[in-house]
Amino acid sequence: MQPRKLIMKNFGPYIHEELDFGDFQEGGLFLVSGKTGAGKTTIFDGMTFALFGETSGNLRSGKEMRSTFASPTEETSVRFSFDHQHLHYEIERRPEQVLAKKRGDGVTNQAAKVRLTIYDQQGKERKQISKKNEVDIFIKDLLQLDAKQFFQIILLPQGEFRNFLIASSNEKEKVLRNIFGTEMYQRFNEWLKEQVKKQTKQIEKQQTAADHLVTRFEWTEPATPVSLVETLAYWQTDLEKQRSHQQTIEAKKFQAEQEKKTAQEAFYLAKEIHKALAEQQELSQQAANLAAKESQILDDKLRLQQLDWASEHQEILRQKDERTAEVAQAIQQLTFNQQSLEQWQESQEIWDKSREVQVDRKDEHTAAKQRLQILAQLKPLAEQVQQQEKQVASLQETVTQQEKQAQHLKEQQNLAMNQEQGLKEEIQKHSIYQVQEVQLVRGENLLYQWQMLKKEEQQLTDTQQQLTDQQRKLQEKQQQLVSKYDELTEELVQEKSRNAKMQIARLSLLLVEGEPCPVCGSFEHPAAQKHTEYSNEEIIDSEQQLESLENQLQQVGEDRSTNLLLLEQVNDQFQTIKQKMSALKEKQQTTYQTLREILQPLMKNMLGQTVLKEGADKEPADPLLAEGLTEKEIATTYFKCQQINQQLKEQFALDSQKLTEVQANSQHLTEELTALEASLKTASDALRLEEGKLSSLKEQTEGVSLEQLNEEQEQLAAQSSRLAALIEADQLEEQRLKEQYTILTEQQRNLQQFLADKQQAAQLAQERLEEVLPAACTEQQMRSLLNDLEERQELRSTIKTYEQQQRFVQQRQLELAQFLQNKAVPDLEVLQEQVDQSEAAVEQLQEQVIRGKEQIKQNQRLLEELQIIYQQNTKQLEKISHLQQLSEVINGENEKKTSLERYVLQRFLTEILEVANVRLARLTRGRYQFELADKVGSYRSSTGLEIDIYDDNAGSLRRAHTLSGGESFIAALALAISLADVIQNRSGGIEIEALFIDEGFGSLDEESLEMAMEALEMIENEGRMIGIISHVRELRERILQQVVVQTDGSGQSKIRTKL
C-alpha cells in the first residue's frame, strides 16, 4: 500500500490541510518536524481514522477529533487516497458531529458517513461504496490489518524499541502481548487458577456436607468408619439389619390386626341384635297408630274424587264465561260506532257552509299567477340597468384612483432617491462585522467546549453522589448481613443442642432388654435418666429446621461475601471518578483562560462601538470590560458580543437588501407611471360610452328598479304558494269525509251481524253446562270446587304416605321376626372390652412399624446423599488434579521456567530476530547478530525473552545494554522495521510502503547521530518511503525533504512541505 494524499478538514488542530505523499517518492527519506503538541501524530490519526473509523490507540473517537476552531456550520472530514495492486483507492469519512443549522437557529445531529471510491490505472471509477459496514469489511479484507496493527506498522516508536532491547523478559512480555494479542494465554492461566480455587472450595463443601450426614445417621449397631468408602459399607450393612427387624414387627402387627377384626365382627353382630329388638317394639306402636287414622283417610279419598270431577269439566264453564264476555264487548263496539256516525254528520254540515270561501280563494290564486308572468318579463331589463350602473360607477372609481396613483408615484420617486443615498452611507458603517465574525466563531467553539466540560463535570458529580449512596447502602447491608449471620449461628447452635436431646430421648425409647445400648454398648442401665418424650413429627421437624438453618447460614455467608465484593468495586469506581474529575478541572481551566483571552479585547472593541454610536463624547462604561471575568460572566460576555455582531451583520444584510430593493423600486416606479397615464386615458373614453347605454335602458323599464321588481315577485310567489296549499287542503278534506262515511256505515253492518253471532254462541255454552252438572251440584258449587283444586296435591300426598307407612310396617315386622328367630341376647360390655384390647395391641405395633419405616427411610436418604457426595468427590478430586497439573505447566512452574504465553512469544520474537538479523548484518556490515538467550535465569521474570548480541569482531555474545548510543539506535531500528515486516506478513502479506519513525534521536551524540543517518540511508535504499518524526536541529539540516507542522500559538496548526 502506497499512501498518496491526506486531506483533513476541521480535524484536530487542522482547519483545512492537505499532505501530498507523492512529493517524497523520489527522495524517499523525509523529516516530520514541529513543536511538541503541534499535531504531528494527528497526521497518522487522520490516516487511521479514514481507513478504520478509529484513532491511534482508540484513545479518542472521531467525534472528539472535531477541531475547536471549526465553524459551527462546517463539517469535519478526512480524505485519504492510496495505491494498491494497480488500483487507486480514495476513502473519506465524516464522524458523528453536531452542527449549527445553516438556516434558522438551533443545531442538528449529523450521523457518521463514509465513502470509498475505487479507480483503475487510467483514473476511471470502478466502484463506490457508501455503507459503513460494507466499507469496514472491504478495508479489513484488503489490508488484512485492524486499526491497532496498522498504526504499529506505519508509526514505529524508536525510543521504545531501544528500551525494549535491554528490558527484562517480563517487560518484553507486556510489549509483545500488546502487539501480538496473546492476552488469551494470560487470561486462560488466570482462569485455571480460579478454577483450582473453586474446585478446592467445592471439595471442602462436599466434606462438610458428608460430616453433617454422618451425625444424622441412626445406627442399629454403632461403628467408627475412617473414610467415606467405609462409611458407605457400614451404613448399607446396618440398613439391612434394620429392614430385617422391621419385617418381624410387621408380621406381629398383621396377626394382631386379624384378632382385632374377629373381635369387632362379634361386637357388631351383638349390637345389631339389640337394635332389632328395639325396632320391633317401635313398629308395633306405629301399626296401632295407623289403624286409628283409617276413617279419616276414607273421607279424604271421597273429597279427592269430587275435586277431580270439577277439574275435568272446568273447560265447559270457562267457555260459557268467554261467550258471555264476547257478547258484552260486541254491544260496546256497536255503541261506539253509532257515536262516530253522529260526529261525521256534524263535520259534513260545517264543510257545506265553507264552499263560497273556497271559490274566492281559487280566483285570487289565478290573478297572482298572471302578475308573476308579467314581472318575469320585466326583470331581465332591470338586471341590465343595475349591471350598467355598477359598470359606470366602477369606471368612475378607476379614473379617480388612477389620477391619485399617478400623483403618489411621483412622490415615491423623489423619496426613493433620498433613501438610496442614505442606505449607501449605512452599508459602509456596518461592514466591520466581517472582521469580528472570525473571532466570534473561535469563541463560540471554545464556549461550547467549555460548556460541554461543565456538563460532564455535573455528570461526574451526579455519578459521585450515586456511588456515595450506593456505598452507604452496601455498608448498611453488610452490617445487616453480619448481624444476621451471627443470629443464625447462635440459633443453629441452640437447634443442634435441642436436636441432640431429641436423639438421646429417642434412642432411650428403643432400648431392648438383653441387647446392647446403641450409644454406650452396655446391656444394663440401672440408673437411666428419664427424658422428655418426643413424637416422630417433632423429631422430623427439628431435623428439617436444623437443615433449613444450615442452608440459611450458608446463603447469608455467600451474600455477605458478594456484598463485600460489590462494596470494593464501588470504592474503585469512586477513586476512578475522582481522577477523572481532577483531569476535567484542569482541562476546564485551560479552555476558560483561552476563551477569556479571545473575548476580552473583542468585547472592549465592540462595546466601545456601541457606546460611541449612542454618543461620540462618552467613554465605555460597561462593567464587563473590567479584568477578571467570572465563569458566569464569560458566557454572558460571549452572547452579548454575538448579539451585537449579529445585529451589525443583520443590519448590513438588511441595508444591502434594502438598497437593491430601493434601486429596483425606483426603476419600477418610472415604468409604472408611464403605464398608468396610458391606462387613465383609456378608462375615461370607456366611461363616456357606458353612461349613454345606461340612459337608454332606464327608459325601457319605466323607472322601476330591480329591487322593487324582486320585492313584488317574492310577495306574489309567497301568496300563490299559500293559496295553493289551502286549495289542496280543501280538496283533501272533502275526500276524507267521503271515505270516512263509507267506512263507518260498513262497520255498523258488520258489528250488528257480529253481535247476533256471539249471542247465539253464548246460549249454546249455557245449555252444554247444564247438561254436565249432576243433580246434587249447582253451578255455584262447581265454582267453589274449582277454587279448592289446590287441595288435591295435599290429599294425594296424605293418602300415599299412609299407604306406604302401612306397607313398610308390615314388611319390616316380618323381616325382624325372621332375623331374631333362634338368636340369644349377647352381653355387649364383654365384647366391647375384647375389641379395646385388640385395638390397643395393633396401635402399639403400628407405632413401632412407623418409627422403623421412618428410621429406614431417613437412613436410606442419607445413604443416597452420601453416595452422591462420594461420586462427586471422586470426580472433583480427579478434575482438580488435572487442573492443578495444567495450571503449573501453563504458568511456567517447570525446569525452563517458561509459561505457555512466553513460549508462544518466544516463537514470535525468534521470527522477528531472524528477519532483523538480515537487516542488522547489512547495517553493521556483518558485525552484529541478534540471538535469543536460552539460559535459564534465577527467576521467571528474567527467563525466556532475553536478547543477546553476537559480536563477530570479538567472537562472543554480549548483553544488549553494552551497545553504544549509535549501535543501539541501529539495532533498535532493525528490530522495529523487522517487527513491522512480521506483522505485515502475518496479516496477509500486504506491503506498507511508507514508514514513520517516532523520535529516538534527541539523546544521540554527534557520532551516534552520524551512524543513525547512515543506517537510515541504507534503509531508504530498500524502496520504502521513510518519515522521521523529530524536532532535532541537526536532522532538519541534513534531511532536505520536510513536512513542517506549524502552530500559531492558539492551538491551530498548518502543514507545509519543503522539497
437-462 CB burial, b ≥16 within 10 A, e <16: eebbbbbbbbbebbeebbeebeebee
Rounded distance, CA 1045 to CA 40, Å? Answer: 7
Rounded distance, CA 635 to CA 368, Å? Answer: 89
Q: Which residues contact 580 (CB under 8 A, 6 or more apart)?
A: 460
Burial class (CB in 10 A: 0-12, 13-18, 19+), 718: exposed
Q: Helix, strand, coil: what percent of the chain each, to 5?
A: 75, 10, 20
Mean per-residue pLDDT, 588-606: 73
Q: What percent of the chain has pLDDT over 70?
A: 85
pLDDT tens per residue across span 377-389? 777 777 777 777 7
Please indicate whether residue 760 or residue 987 has the higher confidence score (pLDDT).
760
Q: What is the per-residue pLDDT for 432?
A: 62
| C-alpha closest to that of 127 among 77, 87, 83, 78 | 87
- Could you count the other beta carbons within 10 Å of the beta carbon of residue 199? 18
736-759 CB burial, b ≥16 within 10 A, e <16: eeeebeeebeebeeebeebbeebe
Where is 401: in which H helix or E strand? helix 355-430
Q: What percent of the chain has pLDDT over 90?
A: 5
| C-alpha closest to that of 995 among 259, 162, 190, 47 | 47
Q: Which amino acid is at 578?
A: K
What value does the CA radius of gyration of the chain take, rounded to a whole number of Å? 61
Residue 57: pLDDT band with limits 50, 70, 90: low
Mean per-residue pLDDT, 432-437: 62
What is the CB-side half-sphere exposure of residue 806 using CA atoms within 13 A?
Answer: 12
Helices 965-986 and 147-154 cross at an angle (nearest 10°) of: 150
Distance set, CA 194 to CA 188, 519, 561, 564, 883 (Å): 10, 44, 16, 19, 10
Where is 1055: in which H helix or E strand? strand 1053-1058
Q: What is the per-residue pLDDT for 126?
A: 87
Q: What is the per-residue pLDDT for 982?
A: 81
| C-alpha closest to that of 980 among 1035, 1033, 916 | 916
Q: What is the mean pLDDT of the chain?
A: 78
Distance set, CA 164 to CA 743, 961, 1027 (Å): 130, 10, 21
Phi, psi (rounded to 5 degrees) for 816: -65, -35
pLDDT tens per residue across span 808-841? 888 888 888 888 888 777 887 888 888 888 888 8
pLDDT tens per residue across span 90-127? 999 999 988 888 777 778 888 899 999 999 888 898 88
Residue 942 has pLDDT above 60, yes or no: no
Distance set, CA 326 to CA 120, 337, 765 (Å): 116, 17, 12
Residue 849 has pLDDT above 90, yes or no: no
What cell numbers appear for 239 in the block?
A: 440398613
Residue 991: pLDDT band with limits 50, 70, 90: low
Q: Could you tell me where the beta strands, DSSP code E, fall in 906-969? A: 928-932, 947-951, 956-959
* Contact present, 178 and 152 (Cβ < 8 Å): no
Mean per-residue pLDDT, 5-29: 86
Distance set, CA 939 to CA 167, 715, 935 (Å): 15, 128, 11
Q: Which residues contact 446 (CB under 8 A, 6 or more apart)?
A: 68, 591, 594, 595, 598
| C-alpha closest to that of 686 among 403, 407, 406, 388 | 388
Residue 720 has pLDDT above 90, yes or no: no
* Contact present, 68 and 446 (Cβ < 8 Å): yes
Helices 169-180 and 158-166 cross at an angle (nearest 10°) of: 140
Q: What is the per-residue pLDDT for 92?
A: 96
Please indicate whether residue 286 or residue 769 has the higher confidence score (pLDDT).
286
Mean per-residue pLDDT, 1015-1036: 74
Phi, psi (rounded to 5 degrees) for 621: -125, 10
Q: What is the per-residue pLDDT for 1015?
A: 73
Mean per-residue pLDDT, 868-891: 78
Q: What is the per-residue pLDDT for 627?
A: 46
Q: What is the per-residue pLDDT for 617?
A: 39
Q: What is the per-residue pLDDT for 429?
A: 66
* Contact present, 92 and 467 (Cβ < 8 Å): no
Rounded distance, CA 629 to CA 443, Å? Answer: 15
Give the N- to C-terminal CA distance of the chain in Å, as an integer: 23
Most confident of 54-58, 1019-1023, 1036-1040: 1036-1040
Residue 616 has pLDDT above 60, yes or no: no
* Contact present, 162 and 1000 (Cβ < 8 Å): yes
- Could you count the other beta carbons within 10 Å of the beta carbon of residue 152? 19
Mean per-residue pLDDT, 1012-1021: 71
| C-alpha closest to that of 854 among 266, 249, 331 | 249
Phi, psi (rounded to 5 degrees) for 774: -70, 165
pLDDT tens per residue across span 228-263? 778 888 888 888 888 888 888 888 888 888 888 888
Residue 80 has pLDDT above 90, yes or no: yes
Q: What is the per-residue pLDDT for 486?
A: 82
Please indicate whether residue 877 or residue 461 has the higher confidence score (pLDDT).
461
What cell numbers appear for 77 in the block?
A: 472530514
Q: What is the per-residue pLDDT for 619?
A: 41
Question: What HEC string does 82-106 produce?
Answer: EEECCEEEEEEEECCEEEECCCCCC
* Contact present, 913 and 932 (Cβ < 8 Å): yes
Mean per-residue pLDDT, 911-936: 84
Q: What is the per-residue pLDDT for 215?
A: 81
Rounded distance, CA 494 to CA 913, Å? Answer: 72
Phi, psi (rounded to 5 degrees) for 371: -65, -35
Residue 938 has pLDDT above 60, yes or no: no
Rounded distance, CA 145 to CA 41, Å? Answer: 20
pLDDT tens per residue across span 453-482? 888 888 888 888 888 888 888 888 888 888
Q: What is the per-residue pLDDT for 434?
A: 58
Q: What is the per-residue pLDDT for 613?
A: 39
Most confident of 326-335, 542-551, 702-711, 967-976: 326-335
Residue 965 has pLDDT above 80, yes or no: no
Find the range with the poorest average confidence among 57-61, 470-474, 933-937: 57-61
Q: What is the per-residue pLDDT for 987?
A: 61
What cell numbers appear for 188 in the block?
A: 486462560
Residue 437 has pLDDT above 70, yes or no: no
Rounded distance, CA 800 to CA 811, Å? Answer: 17
Residue 181: pLDDT band with limits 50, 70, 90: confident
Most confident of 319-333, 621-635, 706-720: 319-333
800-810 CB burial, b ≥16 within 10 A, e <16: eebeeebeebe
Decide: pTM greater than 0.95.
Answer: no
Where is 233: in which H helix or E strand? helix 228-292
| C-alpha closest to that of 927 among 946, 951, 910 | 951
Residue 704 has pLDDT above 50, yes or no: yes
Where is 385: in which H helix or E strand? helix 355-430
Mean per-residue pLDDT, 51-71: 77
